[in-house]
Structure 1
Amino acid sequence: MRLVFAGTPDTALPSLRALLDSPRHDVVAVVTRPDAQSGRGRKIHPSPVAELAEEAGIEVLRPPKAGDPEFLERLRRIDPDCCPVVAYGALLPQSALDIPRHGWVNLHFSLLPAWRGAAPVQHAVLHGDQITGAATFRIVRELDAGPVYGVVTEEVRPADTSGDLLARLAESGAGLLAATLDGIEDGKLEAVPQPADGVSVAPKIGVDDARVDWSAPAMRVDRLIRACTPAPGAWTEFRGQRVKLGPVRPAPDAPALDPGRIAASKNSVLVGTATHPVELGEVQPQGKRLMGAGEWARGVRPADEDRLG
């Protein structure tokens, strides 16, 4: 099929590569978000999808909005059979959805109808799901509510961060997306409406949501930090300064500590929660580099009255 691929971040690259390598499909253009600031110097850079497309000699479309008239006219002239989508990052108006004859097929990183929305992987980790996956579905106007073509499942491992889990889903999902497009081209694959039961939503997790509440149970603290790793990054405050936190290790056999209280020893740095302590891994004090919790504790020398909060 003649394809226009829509995507923006690194997460979309396995799918784009799979379709570029497919002998059955021809990716004639990509749609991606406009170039944006990134990195320490905050310089303007193209998206990862744009960079890969340019390397492959494929036309790159960067509409400010998906309803932009010039973009819609160019898409009509390209005349794609289908538009696969992976983490594009913008809503598609009906005027765009109507152009490809087989519609827009999205790879979503959850087992729909669970975790519709912007952050399905983070919410799967945050809520302690043991199994998640990815689904391909035809995009309709209602958010992530279109009929489903296929799914793959993935175990959520006990120490998974959202970054770990998303990386695996991006790879397995790429195969699912390619197989879905093969089935659509063959006329042998029909999308199945999502059930009305089991719908849950996964809104974006912002910086404020990523602040650790040490009065929560240790399990909740652990899940929040892993869900927010690598983005937006879990954090707490120490002596009025923000400290970013890497994944922690629950320490159910350690002596109890008041929520937020720090117990630093030669071998570990423990912090109290509502249940049992957790052991800090890596931390990044405000304006400083990432370091092990032991190195941080030796530098700040927490007193009995100090608390993380």
Structure 2
Amino acid sequence: MRLVFFGSGTFALPALKALKNSTHELLAVITAPPAPQGRGLKTLPTPVAQLAAELGIPTLTPESPNSEQFLARLRELSPDCGVIVDYGYILKPALLTIPAHGFINLHPSLLPRYRGPAPIPRQLMEGCELTGVTVFQLDSGIDTGDILNQVELPILPDETAGELALRLAEKGAELLCITLDQISTGNVQRIPQNPALATRAPKITKPERWIDWRRPAQEIHNHIRALAPQPGALTRFRNRDLQILRSRKISTSNPEKPGTIITDKNRLIVAAGTDRIEILELKPAGGKIITGRDFINGYHPQPGEIMGV
């Protein structure tokens, strides 16, 4: 089939590679325009645009994919199917009807659970042990279209959002190719989503990033890994913000005031509402990523000092 690929972020990269190596023809890649990125705010193309250039695929960067100008360009391409992964724009009905087979989308959850822009961190925050990827037919709703294919994957106990995203992106790329083959031969099965089972996965807000050390250690550990490596769970020490990026739960029967720092043989440990959290990696505001041991050697926390104040 003749395909157009809509994507921008890193989650879309395995899918783009897989489609390039498939039996289908990639007519063009559509991605967000270059934008300021990083601490220096240097204007750079999206990760998808960079990969498309390496693969020699024509790239379009419309300010709005729903503009009449872009719709006319897409009609000229006359695609059989559109594929969208981590694009960042909502596609309106006039665009969705241009490809003969419409658009299919790759979503990193077992739909209809965790519809929305932040399914991976939301699943980790809630302590889910099972996730997966879903390929579904795009419609005018938010992640509401018919399910075409779905695969389950386990979530590992200490896996961060970044690590889980890599695994889901690779599995999702395989599933996209399988689904496109089924569409091309007329063998795809469509299963309507059950709205009664739907849950939401809204964007993470900055207030949600702050760690509440009064919560149980397992919940804090899930919170930290859900926000790693970006945007990072937040706490404070000596009036300075810290991003906590990797942790481990430690069971204990010795209760301490939540937030109390405990140093144990160069291990940075913080008391939680129940049990303790060992901080393995963190990033002070304006600094670089360091280990818990580096933090102890550089900041010399005193016995009884409180994290989060």
TM-score normalised by the chain length of structure 1: 0.96
Partners of 2:57 and 2:73 lie apart in 1 by 14
Partners of 1:305 and 1:269 lie apart in 2 by 13
Quote the residue 2:91 is aligned against: 92
> Which residue identity does 1:19 align to in structure 2?
L
SS at match of 1:279: strand
Map residues 28-67 of structure 1 onto 2, 5 A cutoff. Answer: 28-67=27-66
Q: CA-atom RMSD, angstroms?
A: 1.3
Map residues 132-143 of structure 1 onto 2, 5 A cutoff. Answer: 132-143=131-142
Contact preservation (8 Å) 1:206, 1:232: no
Unaligned runs of 5+ in 1: none
Aligned-pair distance for 1:296? 1.0
> Which residue identity does 1:222 align to in structure 2?
H
Contact preservation (8 Å) 2:261, 2:304: no
CA separation of 1:254 and 1:290: change in aligned 2, threshold 3 A: farther
Deviates more, 1:257-266 or 1:147-156: 257-266
**Is 1:20 the counterpart of 2:59 in the alignment?**
no
Aligned-pair distance for 1:34? 1.1
**Is 1:8 the counterpart of 2:45 in the alignment?**
no
Partners of 1:163 and 1:271 lie apart in 2 by 24
**Is 1:236 the counterpart of 2:235 in the alignment?**
yes
Quote the residue 1:176 is aligned against: 175
> Which residue identity does 1:79 align to in structure 2?
S
SS at match of 2:197: coil
Contact preservation (8 Å) 2:227, 2:245: no
Partners of 1:298 and 1:120 lie apart in 2 by 37
Map residues 270-285 of structure 1 onto 2, 5 A cutoff. Answer: 270-285=269-284
Quote the residue 1:212 is aligned against: 211
Partners of 1:250 and 1:79 lie apart in 2 by 54
CA separation of 1:81 and 1:272: change in aligned 2, threshold 3 A: same
Corresponding pairs, count: 308
Aligned-pair distance for 1:110? 0.5
Deviates more, 1:266-275 or 1:113-122: 266-275
Aligned-pair distance for 1:254? 6.3
Q: Deviations over 1:11-56 (max 9, x none)?
A: 1111111111112x10010111111122332211111111121222
Deviates more, 1:123-132 or 1:221-230: 123-132
Q: Deviations over 1:118-167 (max 9, x none)?
A: 01111111111111000000111110000000011110010110111110
Aligned-pair distance for 1:190? 2.7
Quote the residue 1:303 is aligned against: 302
Unaligned runs of 5+ in 2: none
Aligned-pair distance for 1:304? 4.5
Q: Deviations over 1:85-136 (max 9, x none)?
A: 1111111111111111101100001000010000111111111111100000
Aligned-pair distance for 1:64? 1.3
Partners of 2:174 and 2:50 lie apart in 1 by 21
Aligned-pair distance for 1:305? 5.3
Partners of 1:34 and 1:136 lie apart in 2 by 26
| Seq. identity, % | 39
Aligned-pair distance for 1:9? 1.1
SS at match of 1:247: strand
Partners of 2:207 and 2:63 lie apart in 1 by 28
Deviates more, 1:174-183 or 1:267-276: 267-276
SS at match of 2:196: coil
Contact preservation (8 Å) 1:33, 1:63: yes
Aligned-pair distance for 1:247? 1.5
Aligned-pair distance for 1:281? 0.6
**Runs ≥4 in structure 1, deviation > 4 angstroms?**
none
Partners of 1:273 and 1:124 lie apart in 2 by 21
SS at match of 1:150: strand
Contact preservation (8 Å) 1:30, 1:53: yes
Contact preservation (8 Å) 2:240, 2:285: yes
Contact preservation (8 Å) 2:266, 2:296: no
Contact preservation (8 Å) 2:4, 2:26: yes
Contact preservation (8 Å) 2:14, 2:173: yes
TM-score normalised by the chain length of structure 2: 0.96
CA separation of 1:286 and 1:156: change in aligned 2, threshold 3 A: same
Q: Deviations over 1:272-306 (max 9, x none)?
A: 11101111111211222211112212322223453
Partners of 1:106 and 1:258 lie apart in 2 by 47
Contact preservation (8 Å) 1:254, 1:277: no
Partners of 1:295 and 1:187 lie apart in 2 by 58
Aligned-pair distance for 1:175? 0.6
Aligned-pair distance for 1:307? 1.4
